[in-house]
């Protein structure tokens, strides 16, 4: 299992994308505002994702 680092872009939950802001022992906190359609989706700006539930798509 690859653990993301701060600044990485991760994909999770059927195509949502976020930038990692903090890495915890079992999860990461990601900023979702980088998505082009963020306003339309009416999501919270940040969310927590378990390490098992995301895929790193860009290392930053």
This prediction's pTM = 0.93
Tens-level pLDDT at each residue, the chain (60 residues): 789 999 999 999 989 999 999 999 999 999 999 999 999 999 999 999 999 999 999 998
> How confident is the model at residue 60, as a pLDDT?
86
Report the alpha-carbon distance of residue 40 to residue 44 in Å, rounded.
Answer: 12
Q: What pLDDT shows up at residue 48? A: 98
Within its chain, how far is the Cα of 5 from the centroid? 11
Strands (E), 1-60: 9-12, 16-23, 27-31, 46-50, 54-58
- Gap between the Cα atoms of 51 and 8, Å rounded: 13
């Amino acid at each position: 299992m690859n653990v993301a680092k701060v600044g990485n872009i991760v994909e999770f939950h059927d195509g949502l994308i976020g930038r990692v802001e903090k890495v915890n022992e079992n999860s990461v906190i990601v900023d979702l505002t980088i998505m082009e359609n963020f306003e339309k989706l009416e999501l919270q700006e940040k969310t927590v994702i378990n390490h098992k539930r995301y895929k790193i798509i860009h290392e930053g």
